[in-house]
Structure 1
Amino acid sequence: MEHFEAIVIGGGSAGLAAAVALGRSRRTVLVIDEGNPRNAKASHAHNILGQEGTNPMDLLERGRDEARHYGARIIEGKVDTLTGSLDTGFTVTMTERSYSAERIVLATGLIDNLPEIPGLAQAWGKSAIHCAYCHGWEVRNQELLVLGIGAMSSHQAMMFNQLSSKITFINHNSSALAEENRATLEALGIPVLEQSVIAVEFDDQGTLASVLLANNQRLNAETLVVATHMQAQAALYESLGGSLAENPLGTYISVNEMGATEVAGIYAAGNVCNLGAMVMAAAASGTIAGAAINADLISSQLATS
């Protein structure tokens, strides 16, 4: 079985940054990536100093080149099982092959669970968006519809109100809009429609044409703002006995300031442990986790010498 000092599971910004930090410290590191990044549908990535507006796939390709330059090995595939412990070492098993490691970085990201509305999944990442910092500048002054589905929806309306005065809040899930949040929307002058959405419709170019309400009314707009319930891709972590934390955004792996989880020898970086992390923050957490693992390995090697 081929052995590495560290195996990084997930090859997005966080995982590749961890691999670069480890590679630059002359550690043997393997990155295993399923090749399905969360922002694959987005045409541009923002808030990345010096790389503003870069295509996300181009950014990852540069990251892979940098990680390989420092000796990291990158393979594509799905990890089936993760077993072991800090004392015995860890084993990562894929179809017909296994690898061992002394430390693990989980950079497996998250799943955006969307409301089950026909057409919404096709619009996601294009004309259906969620983050004012990721997409807000690009939709400034547009006709915006905010889909009210949970506690974060009124917060989204507040954030996008900074960018456009043409906002309508659709109270899709009426039980989720607290009176204090309704009062905030009223204070901001954002109208609230007491209707549910039954479909998201497109024009011939595949961009948002209208939103169909339960009363058969069609609302024309350029962009739909919708929150998702974010679910950390953490089955491997849970299989080792790790438990997930939860906040209003969803579920995540809790880590300390260096990326260490409650399972000794397992670190996490990126969206799997910070649901709100944008690309630059995710990469920074990967660098921190990689540096922490290198220091951890030095201490371990000194203790056994």
Structure 2
Amino acid sequence: MNEPVRSFEVVVVGGGAAGLAGALTLARARRSVLVIDAGGPRNAPAAGVHAYLGMEGVPPADLVAKGRQEVASYGGVVESGRVVAARRTEQGFEVECEDGAVVAAQRLLVTTGLVDELPDIAGLAEHWGSGVLHCPYCHGWEVRDQPLAVVAGGPVAVHASLLWRQWSDQVTLFAHPGTGLGEPEREKLAARGITVIDSPVQAVESGPGGVSGVRTADGAVVAVNAVVVPTFMRSRSELLVDLGVEVSEQWMGEHLMGTYVESDPNGATSVPGVWVAGNVTSVSEQVIGAAAAGNKAGAMINADLVMAEAEQALARAGQDVQAEPVR
């Protein structure tokens, strides 16, 4: 690594809701804080952020822009860039960016989020975030009372179908081969008016307004206005793994949902001085929850620094007493 040219009390890696909320809390606590944001947020394709009290429907980019301004108004620094490495030093940490710049920090807050990995079905990626959805609390109202396709397998297939049934009574489950739907599960779905089609989906069809239907393996095209796909949610944890932080698998019964970074309820990881917040440590967190987690982590980091500074001051006071000459 190059020699660090700048030093901050806290470096925040990731500038979404969690990272900016943490930075805002720290900046208001009069801490020197730098946010390094690589861009590419998970919710970039979405038209708006939902279920965020006071910010309902705000475009994701507008929320980030407002958050950056708020952090800067309290003296925080927000920069675009990609952190490619981090290591511990005697003073804390050093992080290296893609452009070669190195920054020193006493504490790290990592809010790098996660990546949604889609099934290999034609047309899914094209409509991701608009006509291809995963979270009913984020998008359910916008497709209420419309014909919906749930494309899933395993235990999550029943869960997702019943959940989305709350927003529409026109839900069809297209079950993956080997989905293991038993008679009790089929009866429960049928009782809620959910149709099950056992022919797997091969493609999402496009129309003038977006998604127009799904095409199954037997060639049939079923008209729907939106497709629900439970994604594999992989945490962006490479930086944390290099620092020695544990990464675990998130399961729903026998269904592997994704990966997450382990932390305590305040965001502290097993590595002293390293905190996490948002989707990197909680795959199901919505934007408002990520912001709340960032706020809490920021407060805990400040408290940790306060206690460390008190210990250092006590040690200095002891040294001063010992240094005084005996009279």
Q: TM-score range by the shorter chain?
A: over 0.9
Aligned counterpart, 1:211: 214
- Deviation readout 1:202-222 (Å, 9 max, x if unpaired): 1245x0012110000001110
- Equivalent AA in structure 1 for residue 207 of structure 2: D
- Deviation readout 1:151-208 (Å, 9 max, x if unpaired): 3222111111111111111012433546554343133221110111111121245x00
**Root mean square deviation, CA, Å:** 1.3
Aligned counterpart, 1:107: 111
Aligned counterpart, 1:128: 132
Give the whole-Å Cα distance in 2 for the aligned partners of 1:111 and 1:153.
21
Which one of 172, 191, 196 corresponds to residue 192 of structure 1? Answer: 196
Which one of 268, 275, 280 corresponds to residue 272 of structure 1? Answer: 280
- Equivalent AA in structure 1 for residue 202 of structure 2: I
Alignment of 1:61-80 (within 5 A): 61-80=65-84
Aligned counterpart, 2:246: 243
Give the whole-Å Cα distance in 2 for the aligned partners of 1:302 and 1:62.
35
Q: Which runs of 5+ in 2 are unaligned?
A: 252-256, 314-327
Count of residues in Structure 1 that have an aligned counterpart in Structure 2: 303
Q: Is the 8 A contact 1:132 1:156 kept in 2?
A: no
Aligned counterpart, 2:144: 140
- Equivalent AA in structure 1 for residue 275 of structure 2: Y
Give the whole-Å Cα distance in 1 for the aligned partners of 2:27 and 2:180.
47
Give percent identity, aligned residues only. 41
- Deviation readout 1:100-136 (Å, 9 max, x if unpaired): 1010001000000110111100111000101111111
Q: Is the 8 A contact 2:157 2:175 kept in 1?
A: no
TM-score (norm 1): 0.96
Range moving further from structure 2, 107-116 or 71-80:
71-80
Q: Is the 8 A contact 1:150 1:173 kept in 2?
A: no
TM-score (norm 2): 0.90
Give the whole-Å Cα distance in 2 for the aligned partners of 1:251 and 1:176.
23
Q: Is the 8 A contact 1:110 1:272 kept in 2?
A: yes
Give the whole-Å Cα distance in 2 for the aligned partners of 1:296 and 1:278.
27
Which one of 91, 96, 103 corresponds to residue 93 of structure 1? Answer: 96
1:302 aligns with 2:306: no
Give the whole-Å Cα distance in 1 for the aligned partners of 2:133 and 2:55.
21
- Equivalent AA in structure 1 for residue 218 of structure 2: N
How has the CA–CA distance of structure 1 residues 102 and 180 changed in structure 2, closer, same or farther, with 3 Å as cutoff?
farther
Larger radius of gyration: 2
How has the CA–CA distance of structure 1 residues 183 and 239 changed in structure 2, closer, same or farther, with 3 Å as cutoff?
farther
How has the CA–CA distance of structure 1 residues 180 and 84 changed in structure 2, closer, same or farther, with 3 Å as cutoff?
farther
- Equivalent AA in structure 2 for residue 83 of structure 1: R
Which one of 267, 282, 291 corresponds to residue 290 of structure 2? Answer: 282
